[in-house]
Amino acid sequence: MNILTINKFYYIKGGSETYLFALKRELENIGHKVIPFAMKDNKNYPTEYEDYFVDHIDYGNAGFLEKIKLGSKVIYSQEARRNLERLLDVTHIDVAHLHLFQHQLSPSILIPLKKRKIPVIYTVHDLKVMCPNYKMLHKNQICEKCKDGKFYNVMLNRCTKNSLSGSLISMLEAYLHHGMKVYEEYIDHFITPSQFYKDKMIEWGFPQTKISYIPNFLDTNSISPSYLHKDYMLYLGRLSEEKGILTLLEAMKKISGSAKLKIAGTGPLTDLINDFINQNGLEEKVEMLGFISGSNLEQIISNAKCVIMPSEWYENGPLALIETFASGKPVIGSNIGGIPEHIDNGINGYLFEAKNSDELASKIDIMQTLPEKNYLELCQNARKKAEYVFDAKNHLSQILPIYRTITA
């Protein structure tokens, strides 16, 4: 089977790309051919199809006038449509698998796929199918005001990075998607990495028969579990408001024991976090590691007692959580979005109410005082879940029948 994989980035930028390349590897291992379509970038992995990629666009660093100028490409990219048409002219495709395509690629790519009757699957990595700013957040509060097509709220509230121009473009993009019936007419099947996202889509009017919940996966054989630990817990990820890092720091002020926390990652809250640590005398408890990847990150996880995920938005199926379980480490996570689907409270980790620093502090204290025998059980249960629920073969056994069904 020839599978066209569409994602605006063709290098590991986040969880979506980690999944994309893992799936590509598994599909190719069993004889399928995976053909990419993406945006040009000097960080891209090499591919013979790069000549068909669209020119690099960076909306984040564009000024006000430049964003307005680029807005038409967000809404409908003629370049992306033409380039994909050229690729389809020279390549036979059995099924197209979409990932992150909005903005830099735009819904224009769906036109040539529909014209050629190529079935389309879309893995829903974020909330863009429902929310113009993809997070369902406004001023770090859960917001669902755009439900039932009320997309004007994104501009009224400046939901896209608090930018008027960015929010205007997001609003126009959402109305175009709605008017074109992009998700109704051009997508044959949706895959959500969490049951929560599937339920939320159904609540917002998507047909249940077109949505399948298939959790993310990884190659557990490539990760050796470690049930030993040093005296620290770990936060890893982007340092941004919706991730709940400030709630975690508040909890560190309240813990009764001597627990220590290492923070691995970068983001817009870096300076604020450093100031918080200094102003609250947490220098002995909290250590900032900055950006860490590869073997260094694996070592940091391997030595941690647990990983803490204090998210305050509708997380999907975090790959970081699955990787943590595969490493044999329990997780303390907030009870929001898809996180509680992964964590079995008291079995392989602990759940707490999102934004509740008191409850988080109590869970940290429980983890710190847990007898080694009980801690080992948490670790082993975490690894078992990674092996049996988030396994690559299990994932393929669910996704391949969908490929076959929609191409039949």
370-383, pLDDT tens digit by residue? Answer: 999 999 999 999 99
Helix (H) or strand (E) holding 121: strand 120-123
Considering only CA atoms, which of 282, 244, 280 is closest in space to residue 260?
282
- pLDDT, mean of residues 175-179: 86
User: pLDDT grade, residue 221 (50/70/90)?
Assistant: confident
What does CATH list as the number for 220-388? 3.40.50.2000
User: pLDDT grade, residue 66 (50/70/90)?
Assistant: low
pLDDT in the model for residue 209: 95
Q: Enter the tokens of residue 266.
A: 């970068």
Q: Enter the tokens of residue 183.
A: 């998700």
- pLDDT, mean of residues 67-96: 85
Task: Pinpoint the residues of the chain covered by CATH 3.40.50.2000.
Answer: 2-217+391-407, 220-388
Whether 64 shows a pLDDT value over 60: the answer reads: no
- pLDDT, mean of residues 337-358: 96
Mean pLDDT computed over every residue of the chain: 92
User: Which stretch of 55-59, 86-90, 121-125, 307-311 has the lowest confidence by average pLDDT?
Assistant: 55-59
For CA atoms 19, 101, 113, 33, give the dihedral sign: negative
- pLDDT, mean of residues 247-269: 93
| pLDDT tens for each residue of 263-321 | 999 999 999 999 999 999 999 999 999 998 888 988 999 999 999 999 999 998 888 89
- Could you confirm whether domain 2-217+391-407 is CATH 3.40.50.2000? yes
